[in-house]
Structure 1
């Protein structure tokens, strides 16, 4: 049986992160996600003694949680480029022993793993009973404007298209992936962040400084032609500009959370275990609903 298809090129991802550090990283989106993660964790109103920050490119999550009493020890697992990383981790093969963690958090990292179901299963095994996973990462709607503009520009100038923007996970699939991995009480939701730019070059520069330039394994390896870039700029301005001339770029943040099962957690009722009939609760005859003729 074959393994998951390699959509992302790990070497390209590492090279993009190194280039971002050399250019001076752009962290506005990561900082926002880290702060949102801290707010979501605060709503749980519980302390987690041993936690892992998985794959987050910087110490943004550690900074967002600093001064709070929600987490005891927060260990950093992730890319070698992260300054405070404790263990350099391949996101496809996690170094966690079973039932050793109370909490796993991750910010803008899981969107580029090739085997997301496998990673979620490994996280689930690493969590102690009643342990929690919270992660925010780029979702399917991210950079739809750029994806569409690139497709039109390449079709018009080259007679075909190549993958330029990554196919991130769809929110509709994530709840099922959490359940398949064995998580209880799975929750998914999405936050859309619209950033406005003066021109497409500024957006492309930000993506490079985020380490988010094209990391696809089957990306076109030849340089982008000047005529294609010019057409890209035209299409983007025609389709995705506001009345003031500034251009929109959407970043979709997909949020997932789930718990390692524990006997104390709320469970759905067994079929047929209800003690009262719906018709009695609504005070209507059996087989009729309020408002029926």
Structure 2
């Protein structure tokens, strides 16, 4: 097990009860809805899986007003203060590791900034595919491998200097090059994966850490250090961060890599690749011929 799923639920709930930091989620939701707008069909049964706040579910209501939308979240507040009812979508509690859906229940499944906390990502993708009807679409976004590489470097360096070793503090994230293959292994047709890198600037390291707490995204690794971390370590990490990853105005940079994934449940109406060797024209006859001459003197 990589992640402590119980701890993730508690931290998401704490963030929801306080003042959640939603700027990154807002950015992702806008992009996901724009991608959906290019798909010329209507979806009537929609699942939003694991998204840590109802931002995506609310956007889907606006985009598909006739659709039935279910938002599944592992940490819905029990008092209803943070996400009050009634809402134009159904709220249910569930965990990514065991989706509470029947087979072929939806024609669209979405997920924003949740799947990177999965202990078994291939297994979850299979569950999502099974919950979709034939020709159903899955569209999601998760954090990728470049995410918070600056923070990871500075914490590791500071801990090595002060403690003589390092402990896991920043989660390992998926690689965009692997996601298309994972979708295909899960049984999706026409899989697509692409990435977008967002750089966020902060006044200092502690402002970044405050935002991560507001996202419910602080350390939830099973192998994390279980005793409190000395403040001296964070102070040293803040110094290193300012030295290595700051702009001329003194503000530091934090990278978030967003991996967008999509795939369709196979259906006979979908495009299929031609049989190898069935082409009736050479590619060279279609494409113009280009020549390259190296620069003189090389």
User: Displacement, 1:226?
Assistant: 2.4
**2:194 and 2:259 in contact (8 A); partners too:** yes
Structure 2 residue 36 is the aligned partner of structure 1 residue 31? no
277 and 138 in structure 1: CA distance in 2 versus 1, 3 angstrom threshold = closer
Q: 1:246 aligns with which of 243, 246, 251?
A: 251
What SS is found at the alignment partner of 2:44?
strand
Quick one: distance in 1 between partners of 2:65 and 2:193? Answer: 22
User: Displacement, 1:87?
Assistant: 2.1
Partner residue, 1:277: 282
User: Displacement, 1:271?
Assistant: 0.7
Partner residue, 1:237: 242
Q: 2:64 aligns with which of 56, 61, 69?
A: 69
User: Displacement, 1:141?
Assistant: 1.0
Partner residue, 2:102: 97
Partner residue, 1:216: 221
Partner residue, 1:54: 49
**1:46 and 1:70 in contact (8 A); partners too:** no
Partner residue, 1:41: 36
User: Displacement, 1:51?
Assistant: 0.7
TM-score where L is the length of structure 2: 0.90
User: Displacement, 1:71?
Assistant: 6.2
Quick one: distance in 2 between partners of 1:279 and 1:10? Answer: 53
Partner residue, 1:204: 209
Structure 1 residue ranges without an equivalent (≥5): 1-5, 284-288
**1:48 and 1:70 in contact (8 A); partners too:** no
39 and 280 in structure 1: CA distance in 2 versus 1, 3 angstrom threshold = closer
User: Displacement, 1:70?
Assistant: 7.2
Structure 2 residue 14 is the aligned partner of structure 1 residue 19? yes
What SS is found at the alignment partner of 1:257?
strand
User: Displacement, 1:291?
Assistant: 4.8
**1:42 and 1:70 in contact (8 A); partners too:** no
Quick one: distance in 1 between partners of 2:160 and 2:254? Answer: 21
TM-score where L is the length of structure 1: 0.91
C-alpha offsets along residues 89-112 of structure 1, whole Å, 9 cap, x if unaligned? 121111222222100001111110
Quick one: distance in 1 between partners of 2:274 and 2:156? Answer: 49
Quick one: distance in 2 between partners of 1:257 and 1:128? Answer: 15
Partner residue, 2:159: 154
The CA RMSD over aligned residues, in Å, is 1.9
Quick one: distance in 2 between partners of 1:197 and 1:190? Answer: 22
